[in-house]
Amino acid sequence: MTRRWLLGWILTCLLIPCWAQGEDQNYWSFQEYLDAFPQQRSLSDAFSARIRQPAEPLNSSTARPVQIAMLIPDQQISDYWSRNRKTLGLRLQEIGLPFTLQNYSFQPASTNRKQELQLAEALSSDPDYLILTLNTLRHRVLIDKILARGRPKLILMNITTPLKYRGNKQPFFYVGFDHGEGTRLLTDAINKMTREQASYLMLYGTRGYVSQARGDEFIRLTSNQPGFTLRQAFYTDMSHEKASQAVLQALKAKPDINLIYACTTDIALGAIDALKKLNREDKVILNGWGGGSAELDALAQGSLDLTVMRMNDDNGVAIAEAIRLDQEGKADQVPLVYSGDFAVIDQKTPTAELERLKAHAFRYSK
């Protein structure tokens, strides 16, 4: 890696946060949506209660197995996607709903062209349900085209903020863990840990919705706190190596940085490697985002200071229950949006409490 290449990469990664350019008006926030459509709140509460309960066997039978296709960025260290794929299958088996599940994997930074080819292949089998994510403007275009076809029923995973411009012609189901709520919980914990005094580095993933909802939201939440100073920000494409190089470069240029905000698991692990090289693990606070196996291991080893932990398998269960209700002719019991539960954990979290959280979060994917 040449110095010129690194400098060029650093320059292309610097950015002006989206919050400074005005809020993205294309989405309802989860709470805005519930406030705007109060009937959805009661649906959401009832559905959330269903997710926390054991599976109830299906009373009716289907003429043929339900066909499900998943097109997800599961080629990463974070096990959120792979765990929920496993959970979806196991919950459907418990329900007694026959199904086929075809998975199409890609890396978060894969080209649009590769994703579109995989999507075309998935659609060629004419599935009943298609599970996608929504992160970029190109994804919105593809979603619009799928909805215009009228089939398959579309489930958007890892997003809990409905698209405003879709009006009442929405996908079948949005499912995830509200990025905004998770970031607010994480921000509160970081404020307590730093006493609202931090010179920090922002490490984004890929350009798009998740970086905005996690990274820009943290910047916005702390922008009115005089003790918080954003020193540098980088897009890392969720690359372990790029995250590590960004930390090395940033701490060399700005040695007063004492907090690194990482938007994803892979980024946090890359930052850990850099801090180890610099022997600054004890001098810089580093967060994770998601609380999967890799983050929990890093937390136990003392390399990670805190994270917001998703009750991971809630999402796979939610998808299975939404499909089940739809197949039973009870689609009116499925809320448009489901958001799973969080817990903030750090190195001081009691072992018994952490084990309790893990037992629930990974109850299917263990």
Residue type, 236: T
Contact residues for 204 (Cβ-Cβ < 8 A; gap 6+): 15, 211, 215, 233, 234, 235, 236, 263, 267
Q: Could you tell me if 114 and 75 are in contact, meaning their C-beta atoms sit under 8 angstroms apart?
A: no
pLDDT at 24: 54
Nearest to 171 by CA among 155, 159, 183: 155
State how far the Cα of 169 lies from the Cα of 343, in Å rounded to an integer.
Answer: 33
- Which residues fall within 8 angstroms of residue 235, CB to CB, at 6 or more apart? 12, 13, 15, 204, 205, 206, 207, 211
pLDDT value for 12: 35
Q: Is the pLDDT score of 40 beyond 50?
A: yes
- CA gap 97, 69 in Å, rounded: 16
pLDDT at 141: 82
Q: Is the dihedral of CA 253, 254, 259, 261 positive or negative?
A: negative
Q: Does 3 have pLDDT greater than 60? A: no
Beta-sheet pairing, 306-310 with 285-286: unpaired
Mean pLDDT for the stretch of residues 35-41: 94
Beta carbons of 312 and 283 less than 8 angstroms apart? no
Q: How far apart are the C-alpha atoms of 318 and 40, rounded to whole Å?
A: 16
Residue 273, token pair as written in the block: 């490697």
Whole-angstrom distance, CA of residue 238 vs CA of residue 55: 35
Q: Which pLDDT score, from 0 to 100, does residue 25 have?
A: 66
pLDDT digits (tens, 9 = 90+) for 265-274: 999 999 999 9
Condensed to tens digits (0 to 9), the pLDDT of residues 300-320 reads 999 999 999 999 999 999 999
Please state the rounded mean pLDDT for residues 183-210. Answer: 96
Does 234 have pLDDT greater than 90?
yes
pLDDT at 129 over 70: yes
Residues of the chain with CATH 3.40.50.2300: 30-177+311-340, 180-310
Identify the pLDDT of residue 134.
79
Peptide bond into 171 cis (omega under 30): no
Going by the DSSP 8-state scheme, the letter that residue 287 receives in this structure is: B
Do 70 and 131 contact (CB within 8 A), yes or no? yes
**Tally of residues, the chain:** 366
The alpha-helical segments, DSSP class H, found in 195-264 are 209-211, 217-222, 240-253
**Cα separation, 257 vs 198, whole angstroms:** 8
CATH topology of domain 30-177+311-340: Rossmann fold (3.40.50)
Across the range 149-160, mean pLDDT stands at 94
CB-side neighbour CA atoms (13 Å) of 81: 24
Does 3.90.1150.10 match the CATH number of domain 180-310?
Answer: no
Confidence of residue 142 (pLDDT cuts 50, 70, 90): confident
